[in-house]
Amino acid sequence: MTIRKSTVSGLFYEATPDGLSKTVDAALLKAKKEVTPSDKTFGAISPHAGYIFSGNVSALALESL
């Protein structure tokens, strides 16, 4: 199987797996602190414009499900 390397690695998200994991974990932790039980939703359409642009919004959407 051929796996193509990303052409945008390091531009819209961290270039290393460790860096990417830290970015996502930080966004999810921040969202967990901000979402209250009354914020629960039934579904969400989450943007994906790169973690640096919309990662926090996506994390909030996921946490509120």
Q: Please provide the DSSP assignment of 1-33 as one string.
A: ---PPPSSBTTTB-SSHHHHHHHHHHHHHHHHH
Q: How many CB atoms lie within 10 A of CB 55?
A: 23
**Residue bearing the bigger pLDDT, 65 or 22:** 22
**Residue bearing the bigger pLDDT, 6 or 29:** 29
Domain boundaries, the chain: 37-65
pLDDT tens digits for 18-27?
Answer: 999 999 999 9
pLDDT tens digits for 32-43?
Answer: 999 988 887 888
pTM of the model: 0.78
Q: What is the mean pLDDT of the chain?
A: 88
